[in-house]
Amino acid sequence: MSMSSADTHCPYCALQCAMTVLHDASSDDAVTTVTGRDFPTNRGGLCAKGWTSAELLASPHRLRMPLMRQSNGTLAETTWDEALDAVAAAFRDTKATHGPDANAIFGGGGLTNEKAYQLGKFARVALGTSRIDYNGRFCMSSAAAASNRAFGMDRGLPFPVTDLDDARTILLLGSNVAATMPPFLAHLAGARAAGGLIVVDPRRSATARLTEDGAGTHLQPAPGTDLPLLLGLTHIVIAEGLADRAYIEERTAGFDALRRSVAQWWPERTSSTTGIPVAQLRETARRLAAGGAYILTGRGVEQHVDGTATATAAINLALVLGLVGREGSGYGTLTGQGNGQGGREHGQKADQLPGYRSIRDPEARRHVAGVWGVDPDELPDAGIPATALLGELGGPVKTLLVAGSNVVVSAPDVDALRERLQALDALVVCDFFLSETAELADIVLPVLQWAEEEGTMTSLEGRVVRRRRALAAPDGARSELWIMSEIARRLGAASTWSTDPAEVFDELARASEGGVADYSGLSHALLDTGIEAYWPYRSESTPRPFTERFAHADGRAKLVPVDATPPAPTDRGAELTLVTGRYLQQYQSGTQTRRVAELNGARPEARLEIHPATASRLGIREGALVAVSNERGTVKARASVTTDIRHDTVFLPFHYAGDECANRLTEAIVDPTSAMPEFKRTRVMVAPDAGIPAPTTAAPIERPDAAAPHVVERPPVLVAANSEEAIHG
Ligand SMILES: Nc1nc2c(c(=O)[nH]1)N[C@H]1C(S)=C(S)[C@@H](COP(=O)(O)OP(=O)(O)OC[C@H]3O[C@@H](n4cnc5c(=O)[nH]c(N)nc54)[C@H](O)[C@@H]3O)O[C@H]1N2
Ligand SMILES: Nc1nc2c(c(=O)[nH]1)N[C@H]1C(S)=C(S)[C@@H](COP(=O)(O)OP(=O)(O)OC[C@H]3O[C@@H](n4cnc5c(=O)[nH]c(N)nc54)[C@H](O)[C@@H]3O)O[C@H]1N2
Ligand code: SF4
Ligand SMILES: [Mo]
């Protein structure tokens, strides 16, 4: 058969747009194409990343053999047996010499449910280590912590995304969906038509622009002042008698303490802290109370040292207004990575067992150990969150396996992290490309891409969808389920290690039974019948889990008082606040999208957004090369002079490596509850960069040729040929 096709979902973000992949192997140049497929979330639409996703399947950059570090420092191809023997030996030696917690795993929210589940089991059973966490800590942890505390459950959107279509008002805090999930904009159309899209962002982002022409309001607070803003809005709601007293009485607990906690955030104080006029504050509060309102948060308000408190304040506002668990209104957070939702439910988190259970809960340990066929007392205790785990590298942690993250670009303070990665006894990276993190590895294991594997993903609305295989993987690449089973076998691990995604899913379903994220009624076969599957799913789908009760034992939502310490004044001489975020055409650390000619052609480099007044004060012209620096490092980028940003703020995307890597500047300080790092508010100095060469990217990726912008001109390169410079640069 030369033509094959599969109904599947996009490899990138949490909207999980439905697509059909067509593979035509009839000629020598096999062609794989994607088309949008009708589905409630995307209605046939895809963004530029989705449309171009198939290009990477046959990419010349694709890894096709395991790589191993040679004595001369380069990476060279090796056989699977040799590579897996070496990985097993590294884990065994590390454990024997330094104890089980000297082995660590770093996972990712892009992994299927099956792989994320197996990775958690692999850490606890095959390695016996507590040291596992994942990049979702950098993404969803603040919103997750706030939702768990308030509702007893963390499902990003506790309602189908199509519920938003009928909203009259949507308060969207710190989310730039116009760039990060373009097909999602269709669900904002109703609120825009009603004049009720309220976007809170210190930048006039593409999403903020959607409020123009009467479609809504853009609130442009100082970065990091969302918490006072939300406390102030809650104050107004209560003071003006807009709170839903009957709902508060019937469905929540803790109102009196909450009321006291916002008492001091009167409108004038809120206004002077956030920079938002009192009239706009009052208008926003009244609009939210007028019916048909939703409150949604994104990374802009969550990726802060007070991210959990801010998400909690957003939830409190929604609860006081009576929006949650009612038809036609709601609160939610917009999950980011493809499986950002499912990836945070099945055991990749340091303190978690499958089904969103606590590893410290004796009953959960008994149940899951029973499914795994091991003694519950042998399961390790809770580990430590991602930033702390990365902080242990080269110290207590000697061997690290990374699967599904490019930490040396995406974690905070990457210059320091790079040194720690280099101090490891062994770094093992599973990837299909030589990411910047894989470049540092001792062993690189090439894995499958999305269209080559079977599995499930859980989208931003808590819906379990099927990822299906459309074509065979290239020779030499292997599935992570196979890799884990092979290492487990070499280590003589207990339990069984299936390589069949449907079987692993069945095991996951049993392990999750009775947990908060209960998948026990689901299977690949059932999902293939096309049913709608919102978790919890024991015998039926739960599209709106909070309609009757919240997940706490008493059925009530908890109002948790939080307070804000007003931030230090924003203008201290030459210092500016750096906020970081995303471009439409680049995805995350850029490993994938920087290799797609069309996408990288549109966004080939990081640009520093800076206000004209600030630029002129600093002597910076449009397009000029600037140095952005602080005590941790320096980033070189060209300036984009724009009135879309505040005077006191500059913006960089975090998709690039080398001199352009924004995370050379961010600090590894974290939220005390969620351990989310501060990605959105970093003090920097900006200066013209006279005489210093233009930015270079450490990634071995050629910029597209200007004459042929749709062609990647780089020939297939075997990594063995890589220079020292490319590996260590
Ligand atoms: N094109 C593209 N799409 C993606 C991704 C990608 O990398 N590229 N990544 C996916 C993932 S994993 C995620 S998590 C999502 C993220 O999706 P978003 O949350 O939309 O992404 P960000 O661009 O990080 O942040 C959103 C906005 O927050 C604003 N912001 C920064 N600081 C503050 C602040 O203090 N307060 C407020 N109110 N706003 C602030 C920024 O200016 C930015 O416009 O996108 C997903 N989709
Ligand atoms: N300054 C700043 N930093 C940030 C953020 C920010 O807003 N500002 N956002 C944070 C957020 S929200 C996130 S989610 C992180 C994301 O940052 P990362 O965790 O680095 O995410 P990706 O770039 O998607 O990295 C995924 C890597 O795994 C590979 N990969 C993809 N799928 C698979 C798979 O199935 N298996 C394996 N083994 N590999 C796979 C890809 O090729 C890529 O190299 O960055 C965080 N860092
Ligand atoms: S919005 Fe997200 S899921 Fe949809 S096509 Fe774009 S990247 Fe893929
Ligand atoms: Mo994310």
CA of 135 to the centre of ligand 2 (A): 7
Q: Does residue 721 carry a pLDDT above 80? A: no
Q: Which of 22-31, 94-103, 164-173 has the lowest mean pLDDT?
A: 22-31
Q: Does residue 692 carry a pLDDT above 80? A: no
Question: Is the minimum distance from the CB of 110 to ligand 3 under 6 angstroms?
Answer: no
What local confidence, expressed as pLDDT, does residue 457 receive? 98
Residues with CB under 5 A from ligand 4 (ion): 139, 336
Tell me the percentage of the chain whose pLDDT exceeds 70. Answer: 93
pLDDT band at 567 (very low <50, low <70, confident <90, very high): low
Q: 12 near 459, Cβ under 8 Å?
A: no
Atom number of ligand 1 nearest to Cα 225? 35
Q: Report the residue among 176, 220, 611, 651 best suited for mutation to probe ligand 1: largest number of ligand atoms under 8 A from its CB.
A: 176
pLDDT band at 345 (very low <50, low <70, confident <90, very high): very high
What local confidence, expressed as pLDDT, does residue 224 receive? 85
Question: Is the minimum distance from the CB of 137 to ligand 1 under 6 angstroms?
Answer: no
Using left for φ > 0, alpha for ψ between -120 and 50, and beta otherwise, residue 394 falls in left
Q: Does residue 570 carry a pLDDT above 70? A: no
Residue having the nearest C-alpha atom to atom 42 of ligand 1? 203
What local confidence, expressed as pLDDT, does residue 1 receive? 54
What number is the average pLDDT over the span 467-474? 96
Q: What count of Cα atoms within 13 Å lies in the side-chain half-sphere of residue 111? A: 31
pLDDT band at 59 (very low <50, low <70, confident <90, very high): very high
Q: What count of Cα atoms within 13 Å lies in the side-chain half-sphere of residue 225? A: 26
CA of 663 to the centre of ligand 4 (A): 15
Q: Does residue 496 carry a pLDDT above 60? A: yes
Q: What digits encode the pLDDT tens for the residues 178-232?
A: 999 999 999 999 999 999 999 999 999 999 999 999 999 999 998 889 999 999 9
CA of 552 to the centre of ligand 1 (A): 30
Global confidence as pTM = 0.94
Q: Are strands 677-678 and 352-353 parallel, antiparallel or unpaired?
A: unpaired
Ligand 2 site residues (CB inside 6 A) read 108-111, 135, 138-139, 299, 303, 336-337, 403-406, 409-410, 430-433, 435, 447, 480, 580-581, 588-589, 591-592, 654, 662-663, 666, 679
Mean predicted lDDT score pLDDT of the chain: 93
What number is the average pLDDT over the span 354-364? 98
Question: Is the minimum distance from the CB of 42 to ligand 3 under 6 angstroms?
Answer: yes
- DSSP for 82-104 reads HHHHHHHHHHHHHHHHH-GGGEE
Question: Is the minimum distance from the CB of 336 to ligand 1 under 6 angstroms?
Answer: yes
CA of 175 to the centre of ligand 1 (A): 5
Question: Is the minimum distance from the CB of 129 to ligand 1 under 6 angstroms?
Answer: no
Q: Which ligand is nearest to the CA of 586?
A: 1
Question: Is the minimum distance from the CB of 47 to ligand 3 under 6 angstroms?
Answer: yes
What local confidence, expressed as pLDDT, does residue 2 receive? 79
Q: What digits encode the pLDDT tens for the residues 73-120?
A: 999 999 999 999 999 999 999 999 999 999 999 999 999 999 999 999
Atom number of ligand 2 nearest to Cα 406? 20
Q: What digits encode the pLDDT tens for the residues 370-392?
A: 999 999 999 999 999 999 999 99
Q: Does residue 677 carry a pLDDT above 80? A: yes
What number is the average pLDDT over the span 399-405? 98
Q: Does residue 724 carry a pLDDT above 50? A: no
pLDDT band at 684 (very low <50, low <70, confident <90, very high): very high
**Quick count: other Cβ atoms within 10 Å of Cβ 162?**
14
CA of 629 to the centre of ligand 3 (A): 33
Question: Is the minimum distance from the CB of 39 to ligand 3 under 6 angstroms?
Answer: no
What local confidence, expressed as pLDDT, does residue 530 receive? 95
Q: Which ligand is nearest to the CA of 405?
A: 2
What number is the average pLDDT over the span 593-610? 98
3-class DSSP state of 209: helix
715: which DSSP letter? P
Distances (CA, A) of 249 to 147, 162, 245, 321, 544: 20, 29, 6, 12, 21
- Between CA 534 and CA 56 the distance in angstroms is 30
pLDDT band at 28 (very low <50, low <70, confident <90, very high): confident
* Alpha helices, H only, 464-567: 480-490, 501-512, 524-528
What number is the average pLDDT over the span 445-460? 98
3-class DSSP state of 716: coil
What local confidence, expressed as pLDDT, does residue 565 receive? 78
Q: Which structural domains are found in the chain, ordered by start?
A: 87-139+339-468+477-493 (3.40.50.740), 147-334 (3.40.228.10), 576-688 (2.40.40.20)
Question: Is the minimum distance from the CB of 19 to ligand 3 under 6 angstroms?
Answer: no
What local confidence, expressed as pLDDT, does residue 267 receive? 98
Q: Does residue 695 carry a pLDDT above 60? A: no
Give the largest CA-CA distance in the chain: 73
Q: Does residue 270 carry a pLDDT above 60? A: yes
